[in-house]
Amino acid sequence: MTLKTVLKSVLRRAGYAVYAIPKAGGERRGDYAYAEAHPNATLAPWLTDDDFMQAFEVAKSNTLVDIYRLHELWSLVAETDKAGGDIVEVGVWRGGSGCLMAKKAQLMGANSTVWLCDTFSGVVKAGDQDSYYRGGEHSDTSEAVVSDLAARLGLNNIKTLTGIFPDDTGAQLDASAVRLLHIDVDVYQSARDTVDYLWDRMPSGAAIVFDDYGFVGCEGVTRYADSLRERQDLTYLHNLNGHAVLVKR
């Protein structure tokens, strides 16, 4: 067994995935091509958003999501307020992205609960559609870790549901409307089950964000999100930061 294999095995058991960065010319993985994306745009609105930057400094060690995607989620909290309803995150890990969304909602004075749904024991529902995940990854967390971050951010608008969503905890989510749904579950079936369960509660103007859409190893999520493109009741956008964003018509 090579050192590389041993290191990947150790990191995988700890919940981390290691991938080679695709070469500039790109590489193919099944139906998809991957390459580093370097847009030429230089506008950086997060740098002038003092509230975001202060919250980000507190939360950044509790998330694997980069600042670009985090600021997009922060912004969508405000944009989707027009639709009305609660905010749901499925796939919370250590709470960084979910608590940032909750902080934005709190600062706005929004009458929204932010529901944070996770097994806190790792990825579930990995299957044949998924190229990397096998189950149990990202288990290095707990509900207490999320509660600690929420306390440090001074949040009073979150509810945490522990268990498989929606199988175990869907009935506990009593929101009548969901205006923003952040899906960060890494695998096909979990993403699909989440959308199937919550779609009818989402009003016109509500948004779904697939965090894993643009990343090597998450082809199952990419494949599921792409399967929704032909629907007439939504507008679909792939952001080069890696997100796929669906807006309900």
Res. 118: pLDDT tops 60:
yes
The pLDDT of residue 159 is: 98
pLDDT in tens, 139-168: 999 999 999 999 999 999 999 999 999 999
Q: Is 32 within a domain? A: no
Q: What is the pTM assigned to this prediction?
A: 0.90
Token pair 């608008």 is at which residue? 157
Helix (H) or strand (E) holding 5: helix 3-13
Q: Is residue 205 a part of any domain in this protein?
A: yes
User: For position 50, what pLDDT does the model report?
Assistant: 98
pLDDT above 90: residue 169:
yes
The token pair that represents 83 in the structure block: 């639709």
Q: Give pLDDT tens digits for 24-65.
A: 556 788 889 998 888 889 999 999 999 999 999 999 999 999
Q: How far apart are CA 62 and CA 95, in angstroms?
A: 6
Q: Cα separation of 148 and 143, whole Å?
A: 9
Close Cβ partners of 196 (under 8 Å, ≥ 6 residues apart): none
Q: What is the mean pLDDT of the chain?
A: 92
CATH number assigned to the domain comprising residue 177: 3.40.50.150
Q: What is the pLDDT of residue 37?
A: 83
Q: Does pLDDT of 83 surpass 80?
A: yes
Looking at residue 163, its pLDDT comes to 98
Whether residue 38 is contained in a domain is answered as no
Domain range spanning residue 156? 43-248
Q: How many other C-beta atoms are found inside a 10 Å radius of the C-beta of residue 116?
A: 27
Query: Is 31 inside a domain boundary?
Result: no
pLDDT at 10: 56
Give the integer Cα–Cα distance in Å for 236 and 238.
7
Count: domains in the chain: 1
**Residue 17 located in a structural domain:** no
Nearest-angstrom CA–CA distance, 193 and 118: 14
In 4-139, DSSP assigns E strands to 27-29, 32-34, 86-90, 114-118
Cis peptide before 166 (omega within 30 of 0): yes
Residue 35 domain flag: no
pLDDT tens for 203-248 read 999 999 999 999 999 999 999 999 999 999 999 999 999 999 999 9
Band (5; pLDDT cuts 50, 70, 90): very low
More confident site: 198 or 24: 198
* DSSP-based three-state secondary structure for 194: helix
Q: Is residue 5 part of a domain?
A: no
107 within domain boundaries: yes
